[in-house]
């Protein structure tokens, strides 16, 4: 993989999840990048191996097996492996990102470790190797570049299992040396014989010598000379190591059977710890320097399909602008339009239509009724003419009677001639229709309007006299000119709307129904002053509509819900003010230590959380950060006393090295070191 291709990887997303942000390391077999896990939103380290390995089936099989085994390791001094995968241009490994840099970076800056610092590195690395070896996993490539530190100076061993996978692929560095850097390889690795965990202990001993002296044992001008020089020669510890020298020498024996294993190596270091002063904090190299302009350009999540690129949106606009509705009218089908314009009349209209009136075709039943009506009128007229002709002799007699017999008989005769008509029933008809039906037979009409419950205004509810039949079963008839009185409804009687002030919705409904009205629409807006469920207003108001009118209510839904604002990062006092400004109350939970020391004195947790919907007056409980805890001094204390003291700052006692019943003379990390909450502290006992 050419170094010029590093930039080509920036911005890539591996496995649909890991976005590469910046390079943080490179080697013959891989490049390492700082990456963003877009799913869990955390920074990780991604090691992309050489593309040539993508076609090596032997390597891929071993890589998968070793990656699974490495991911199963769970130790505070072993770098966590989160994930692994394969792309078309090669496999990759995802691990935790450590911001303290590597031991290689420390040494490359010309810094050297004191024997006390080297003891800490050796002890932590030895514990990690003992843990891995106990699970059947040998590293095979212990070197300063694979000893990394977190921001607190705690060591992690990186790349477990990777060296073995590359070895099975017969991968060579550019100069042809077998992988497992030659300067740190054990004699058995040089010979090509099977190796066990003691090979890692040998390499660790070489690393410690270099870390203190700046010189690699047996280092020669060529790789071959370096390897040959250590085949049968014991590792001699330089005097700069002080009390560490004998332990390192026992770890550097060429014969693995005479060499310390990882557990014994850690125990031996623990035994000499009382001879050394307390170590100073390591001068860590710190995180790699990133191109901030490049990181800013990579803002956004390329795996997020929810956002339409701006260019695409601009391309769509001209097309969308072309779709314009300019005419909302709908034309009728041609045939229908012709039919409406020229109606066809197929039947003969018997009578001419009045002027200005459009003639309409009549149905057969209607024409027959009209003919029967005309025939009846003709018959009546004819009968009246005949009656008049036959009535003349009687007129002569009447005149004689009037002249000779008095006026009473004449009056009776004249009154007898006023015609009578059956009284129609016009109830349940509207007033105009009822009056028309009565006047058609020349009855006099009188109207009385009354308010009547459960009636429609303008409808005749009763009449006097009533229509029907007499005692003999004959229709009741009135003479022309007789009066018929109609009782016409004015609708239900007006009923005042009751005062509904401060009533609940249920009580308001009862009051409305008590006076004969009905409940209409109910609106429920939020209100900051009126309690939930209480009537705020109603309509109609202050009037007396007809009984049965609908009364609409406006009922308070209470104060509007509140959204918990962003409180994280504020001081407690500022957060309280922000909550009180929107009608919420604040409570403070016990302060908690936090991994980020910059958060000290600021809110880190709020419950309910930011964005939650709550009621006005609800209590929001906040937790304020106490910052990162400092390791207290436990020197001179018993183990139990030290453990109790550490617990007061949220730390726990892990390793206890020394005789039982003694007192602590050394702790690591050293007192005053700021650490992550819940971190463990190792103590050394005399």
Catalytic center residues:
141
| 434 Cβ neighbours under 8 A, 6+ residues apart | 426, 427, 445, 460, 463, 486
* Paired sense of beta strands 518-523 and 550-555, if any: parallel
CA distances (Å), 248 to each of 144, 169, 187, in order? 16, 32, 16
Residue 162, burial from CB neighbour count under 10 angstroms (0-12, 13-18, 19+): buried
CA distances (Å), 440 to each of 113, 357, 454, 458, 480, in order? 127, 23, 30, 20, 10
Which DSSP symbol is given to 498? P
Across 15-129, where does the E strand assignment appear? 18-26, 30-37, 42-49, 81-87, 90-96
Token pair for 309: 């690129």
Distance CA(87)–CA(1), nearest Å, equals: 14
Using H for helix, E for strand and C for coil, what is the string for 374-432?
HHHHHHHHHHHHHHHHHHHHHHHHHHHHHHHHCHHHHHHHHHCCCCEEECCCCCCCEHH
Q: Which residues pair with 156 in a beta bridge?
A: 148
Q: Is the peptide bond before 608 cis (omega within 30 degrees of 0)?
A: yes
Distance CA(68)–CA(60), nearest Å, equals: 12
- b (16+ CB within 10 A) / e for 361-374: ebeeeebeeeeeee
Token pair for 409: 């008989």
Number of continuous H segments (helices) and E segments (strands) in the chain = 19, 24
Determine the straight-line distance between the first and last CA of the chain, rounded to whole angstroms: 53
């Amino acid at each position: 993989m050419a170094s010029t291709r590093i930039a080509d990887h920036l911005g890539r997303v591996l496995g649909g999840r890991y976005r590469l942000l910046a390079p943080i390391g490179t080697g013959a077999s891989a490049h390492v990048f700082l990456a963003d896990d877009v799913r869990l939103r955390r920074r990780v380290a991604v090691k992309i191996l050489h593309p040539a390995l993508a076609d090596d089936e032997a390597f891929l099989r071993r890589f998968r097996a070793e990656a699974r085994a490495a991911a199963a390791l769970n130790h505070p001094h072993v770098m966590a492996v989160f994930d692994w995968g394969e792309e078309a241009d090669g496999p990759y490994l995802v691990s935790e990102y450590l911001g303290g840099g590597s031991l290689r970076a420390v040494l490359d800056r010309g810094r050297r470790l004191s024997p006390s610092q080297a003891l800490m590195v050796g002890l932590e690395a030895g514990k990690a190797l003992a843990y891995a070896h106990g699970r059947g996993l040998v590293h095979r490539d212990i070197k300063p570049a694979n000893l990394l530190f977190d921001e607190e100076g705690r060591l992690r061993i990186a790349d477990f299992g990777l060296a073995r996978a590359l070895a099975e692929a017969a991968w060579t560095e550019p100069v042809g040396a077998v992988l497992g850097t030659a300067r740190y390889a054990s004699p058995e690795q040089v010979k090509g014989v099977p190796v066990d965990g003691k090979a890692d202990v040998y390499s660790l001993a070489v690393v410690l010598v270099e870390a203190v002296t700046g010189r690699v044992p047996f280092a020669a001008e060529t790789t071959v000379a370096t390897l040959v020089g250590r085949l049968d020669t014991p590792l001699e510890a330089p005097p700069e190591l002080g009390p560490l020298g004998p332990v390192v020498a026992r770890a550097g024996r060429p014969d693995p059977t005479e060499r310390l294993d990882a557990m014994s190596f850690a125990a031996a270091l623990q035994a000499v710890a009382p001879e050394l002063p307390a170590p100073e904090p390591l001068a860590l190299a710190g995180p790699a320097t990133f191109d901030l302009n490049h990181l800013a350009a990579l803002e956004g999540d390329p795996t997020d399909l929810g956002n339409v690129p701006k260019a695409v949106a601009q391309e769509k606009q001209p097309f969308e602008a072309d779709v314009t509705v300019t005419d909302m009218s709908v034309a009728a089908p041609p045939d229908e339009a012709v039919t409406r314009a020229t109606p066809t009349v197929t039947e003969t209209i018997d009578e001419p239509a009045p002027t200005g009136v459009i003639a309409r075709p009549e149905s057969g039943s209607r024409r027959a009724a009209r003919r029967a009506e005309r025939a009846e009128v003709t018959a009546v007229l004819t009968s009246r003419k005949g009656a008049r002709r036959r009535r003349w002799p009687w007129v002569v007699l009447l005149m004689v009677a009037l002249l000779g017999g008095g006026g009473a008989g004449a009056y009776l005769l004249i009154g007898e001639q006023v015609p009578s008509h059956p009284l129609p029933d016009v109830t349940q008809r509207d007033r105009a229709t009822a009056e028309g039906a009565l006047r058609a037979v020349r009855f006099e009409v009188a109207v009385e309007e009354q308010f009547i419950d459960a009636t429609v205004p303008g409808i005749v509810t009763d009449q006097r006299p009533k229509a029907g039949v007499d005692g003999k079963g004959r229709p009741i008839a009135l003479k022309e000119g007789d009066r018929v009185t109609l009782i016409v409804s004015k609708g239900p009687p007006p009923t005042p709307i009751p005062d509904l002030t401060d009533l609940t919705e249920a009580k308001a409904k009862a009051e409305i129904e008590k006076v004969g009205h009905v409940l209409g629409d109910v609106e429920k807006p939020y209100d900051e002053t009126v309690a939930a469920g209480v009537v705020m207003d109603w309509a109609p108001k202050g009037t007396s509509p007809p009984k049965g009118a609908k009364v609409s209510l406006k009922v308070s839904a209470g104060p509007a819900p509140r959204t918990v604002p962003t409180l994280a990062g504020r001081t407690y006092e500022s957060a309280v003010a922000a909550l009180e400004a929107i009608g919420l109350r604040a409570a403070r939970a016990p302060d908690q230590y936090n991994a980020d020391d910059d958060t000290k004195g600021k809110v880190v947790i709020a419950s309910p959380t930011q964005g939650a919907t709550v009621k006005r007056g609800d209590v929001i409980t906040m937790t304020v950060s106490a910052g990162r805890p400092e390791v207290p001094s436990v020197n001179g204390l018993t183990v139990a006393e030290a453990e109790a003291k550490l617990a007061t700052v949220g730390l726990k006692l892990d390793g206890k090295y020394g005789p039982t019943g003694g007192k602590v003379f050394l702790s690591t990390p050293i007192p005053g070191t700021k650490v992550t909450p819940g971190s463990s502290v190792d103590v050394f006992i005399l």
